[in-house]
């Protein structure tokens, strides 16, 4: 089963220069639009596809620089015995070091034997395929793969027009399933001739006006054939070969007429069954035409759960379902770079494994705000909703995603997102601080938002909002908790100095005391506190905190900074 070990692209569309070492199994490219994900799939398809001609334009050259040739080089490993035949390709066999990524011009012990395929397109727009070998070049020898070998390694592309794979056409998946060939020649040609004979002159009557005009023009030009014209079936159009044999269901309906999703699923399953020679599959927008449960089925058909994958798959996606199901290892993060997409493996950052399951949409975002916990996530969401209700933009439209940092793990997660190329910020409490050196390193590329010195979010809220808002938050907590429980928590937090009754008396008098505000902050900020779920804090921020932010207060200033960052994605 041939597999791609290395891809090198020069001057092709948005890629000025880029090298990539894909993994066996699934390689799922995720990232913003126009970052070069589909261009990578096209590069593989054009270099390895079994095509005799391809039409290129000036737009296929980076910045229209036609003076610099397009060059796509693929190092192909896991070669079949036929591809390693010395008589056929001996001069072109090379050695690949998987650890260093280096390629030696001759096979050596300890190195994988590989072939390097290259597609070159110059200013004349004519594609030229060749095998790469320094020692062959020194001897003036040039060649590419034999046509049969090209067909064997050609990748299967599952896309909008992939239903050709449900016919026995040259290079289709059905043709790869077995060596059997349908003998369509005699029977089908006879049927075609019968159809022409039965069609007879019926079209002459239906097209008589058009025939008369053609005859008049032909006679006027002195074309002798105009004297006796008939409308008949074109012999070339009705010639039939094995390529016109396709899969039909029990009712005689062609399966290639199924929906896009069903067609993709079937082809994926057939490709797995047909895996031999090359089992490379290209899928652009894997979720296209599929409901979430069928996306999972599609991924499984492509080998997502196989410990020893039979296919090497290159796919792009913008679906959180795909990210969640695949997990970190198959994900390659694509971000825009000056020379083409910057590609980084998410699997190198195992600290994000839980994030991929719980917040898969973060890997598809432009910016990631890592919040210390669910309380902070709910707070930012609630403030955003309060602003949106007043006609202001939402951070969702700016491509920002919120992620729960898991408390002590928050800085590690935020640093991992920075390393993968995401615009990243951290929102944390200040009662328990991360390692200052590690945080300083993070701040070289990311941004940190924190509450006033020594405070967690609940303490900051109750120290800052007006007394009426504090009472409203207390009443909101009482909707879900018993009054005696809250009273006990307030008493414990204040050394028996504060109760719900005393707080209400102070509010009626005009202003809450610092002791009462501190007790509210401590009681509500307990491990199983009043607003420790996303939903609870989201409602509190939307209905109470947002409308009661005090101009000029440090709490409002920090909240404004957070919001501006989320909108500048």
Q: How far apart are CA 489 and CA 360, in angstroms?
A: 37
pLDDT in tens, 268-305: 555 555 544 448 999 988 888 788 988 898 898 888 99
Look at the block and give the residue holding tokens 């397009």.
70
* Of 67, 534, 519, 78, nearest in space to 280 by CA: 78
Domains detected in the chain: 3-28+35-156 (3.40.50), 185-240 (no CATH), 365-569 (no CATH)
Q: Cα–chain-centroid distance for residue 245? A: 35
Q: How far apart are CA 329 and CA 513, in angstroms?
A: 54
Q: Could you say which DSSP state residue 55 is in?
A: -
pLDDT at 232: 60
Q: How far is CA 558 from CA 279, 378, 380, in A?
A: 54, 16, 12
Helices 292-301 and 260-273 cross at an angle (nearest 10°) of 20
Q: How far apart are CA 481 and CA 247, in angstroms?
A: 63
| Residue 338 burial (CB count, 10 A) | 7
Counting other chains too, the contacts that 184-187 makes at CB distance below 8 Å and 24 or more residues apart are 184/240, 184/241, 184/242, 184/244, 184/245, 185/241
* Of 320, 334, 263, 333, nearest in space to 292 by CA: 320
Find the DSSP H helices in 178-222. 185-199, 202-206, 208-220
Backbone CA torsion sign across 76, 78, 80, 85: positive
- DSSP of 439-485, one letter per residue? HHHHTTTSEEEE-STT--HHHHHHHHS-HHHHHHHHHHHHTTS-HHH
Q: Could you say which DSSP state residue 541 is in?
A: I
Q: What three-state secondary structure class fits 286?
A: coil
Q: Which two tokens stand for residue 198?
A: 């039965």
Answer left, alpha or beta for residue 457, where phi above 0 means left and psi between -120 and 50 means alpha.
alpha
Q: How far apart are CA 349 and CA 329, in angstroms?
A: 9
Helices 500-509 and 514-524 cross at an angle (nearest 10°) of 140
| Neighbour-count burial of 543, counting CB atoms closer than 10 A to its CB (0-12 exposed, 13-18 middle, 19+ buried) | middle
Q: Which two tokens stand for residue 153?
A: 């390694």
Look at the block and give the residue holding tokens 């008493």.
491
In sequence order, what are the residues at sequence separation of 6 or more whose Cβ sits closer than 8 angstroms to the Cβ of residue 558?
449, 450, 451
Per-residue pLDDT of the chain (569 residues; tens, 9 = 90+): 799 999 999 999 999 999 999 999 999 999 887 889 999 999 999 999 988 789 999 999 999 999 999 999 999 999 999 999 888 899 999 999 999 999 999 999 999 999 999 999 999 999 999 999 999 999 999 999 999 999 889 998 886 554 445 555 555 545 555 556 555 556 656 666 676 666 655 666 766 766 566 656 566 545 444 456 566 655 555 555 545 555 555 555 454 555 555 665 565 555 555 544 448 999 988 888 788 988 898 898 888 998 888 899 999 999 999 999 999 999 999 998 888 899 999 999 999 999 999 999 999 999 999 999 999 999 999 999 999 999 999 999 999 999 999 888 999 999 999 999 999 999 999 998 999 999 999 999 999 999 999 999 999 999 999 999 999 999 999 999 999 999 999 999 999 999 999 999 999 998 999 999 999 999 999 988 999 999 999 999 999 999 999 999 999 999 999 999 999 96
* Of 78, 278, 83, 34, nearest in space to 171 by CA: 278
Counting other chains too, the contacts that 225-231 makes at CB distance below 8 Å and 24 or more residues apart are 230/201, 230/203, 230/204, 231/203, 231/204, 231/206, 231/207
Q: Which two tokens stand for residue 63?
A: 């910045």
| Residue 514 burial (CB count, 10 A) | 9
Q: How far apart are CA 18 and CA 286, in angstroms?
A: 24
Q: How far apart are CA 186 and CA 189, in angstroms?
A: 5
Q: Could you say which DSSP state residue 249 is in?
A: -
Q: Which two tokens stand for residue 89?
A: 């390709």
């Amino acid at each position: 089963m041939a597999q791609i070990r290395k891809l090198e692209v020069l001057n092709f569309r948005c890629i000025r220069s880029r090298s990539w070492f894909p993994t066996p199994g699934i390689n799922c490219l995720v990232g913003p639009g126009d970052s070069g994900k589909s261009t990578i799939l096209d590069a593989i398809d054009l270099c390895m596809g079994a095509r005799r001609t391809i039409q290129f334009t000036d737009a296929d050259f980076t910045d229209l620089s036609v003076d610099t040739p397009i060059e796509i080089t693929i190092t192909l490993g896991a070669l079949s015995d036929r591809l390693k035949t010395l008589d056929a390709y001996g001069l072109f066999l090379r050695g690949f070091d998987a650890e260093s990524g280096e390629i030696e011009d001759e096979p050596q012990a300890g190195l994988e034997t590989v072939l390097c395929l290259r597609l070159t397109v110059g200013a004349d727009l004519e594609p030229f395929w060749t095998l790469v070998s320094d020692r062959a070049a020194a001897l003036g020898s040039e060649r590419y793969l034999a046509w049969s070998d090209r067909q064997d390694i050609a990748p299967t592309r599952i896309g909008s027009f992939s239903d050709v794979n449900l016919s026995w056409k040259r290079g289709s998946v059905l043709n790869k399933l077995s060596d059997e060939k349908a003998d369509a020649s005699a029977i089908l040609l006879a049927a075609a001739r019968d159809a022409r004979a039965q069609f007879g002159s019926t079209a002459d009557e239906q097209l008589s006006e058009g025939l008369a005009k053609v005859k008049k023009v032909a006679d006027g030009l002195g074309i002798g054939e105009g004297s006796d014209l008939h409308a008949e079936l074109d012999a070339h159009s009705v010639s039939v070969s094995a390529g016109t044999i396709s899969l039909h269901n029990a009712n005689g309906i062609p399966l290639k007429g199924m929906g896009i999703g069903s067609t993709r699923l079937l082809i994926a399953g057939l490709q797995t069954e047909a895996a031999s020679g090359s089992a490379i599959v290209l899928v652009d927008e894997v979720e296209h035409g599929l409901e979430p449960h069928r996306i999972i089925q599609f991924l499984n058909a492509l080998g997502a759960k196989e410990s020893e994958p039979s296919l090497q798959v290159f796919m792009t996606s913008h679906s959180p379902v795909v990210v969640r199901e695949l997990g970190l290892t198959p994900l390659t993060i694509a971000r825009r770079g000056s020379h083409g997409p910057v590609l980084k493996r998410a699997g190198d950052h195992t600290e994000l494994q839980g994030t991929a399951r719980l917040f898969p949409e973060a890997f598809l975002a432009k910016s990631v705000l890592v919040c210390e916990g669910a309380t902070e996530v709910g707070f930012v969401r609630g403030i955003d909703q309060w602003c949106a209700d007043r006609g202001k933009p939402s951070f969702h439209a700016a491509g920002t995603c919120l992620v729960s940092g898991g408390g002590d793990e928050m800085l590690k997660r935020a640093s991992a997102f920075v390393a993968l190329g995401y615009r990243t910020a951290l929102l944390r409490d200040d009662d328990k601080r991360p390692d200052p050196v590690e945080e300083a390193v993070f701040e070289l590329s990311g941004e940190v938002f924190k509450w006033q010195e020594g405070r967690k979010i609940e303490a900051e809220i109750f120290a800052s909002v007006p007394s009426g808002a504090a009472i409203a938050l207390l009443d909101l907590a009482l909707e879900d908790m018993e009054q005696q429980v809250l009273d006990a928590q307030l008493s414990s937090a204040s050394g028996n100095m504060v109760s719900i009754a005393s707080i209400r008396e102070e509010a009626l008098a005009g202003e809450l005391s610092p002791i009462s505000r501190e007790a509210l902050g401590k009681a509500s900020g307990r491990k199983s506190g009043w607003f420790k779920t996303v939903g609870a804090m989201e409602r509190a921020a939307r209905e109470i905190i947002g409308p009661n932010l005090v101009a000029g207060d440090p709490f409002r200033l920090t909240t404004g900074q957070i919001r501006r960052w989320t909108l500048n994605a």
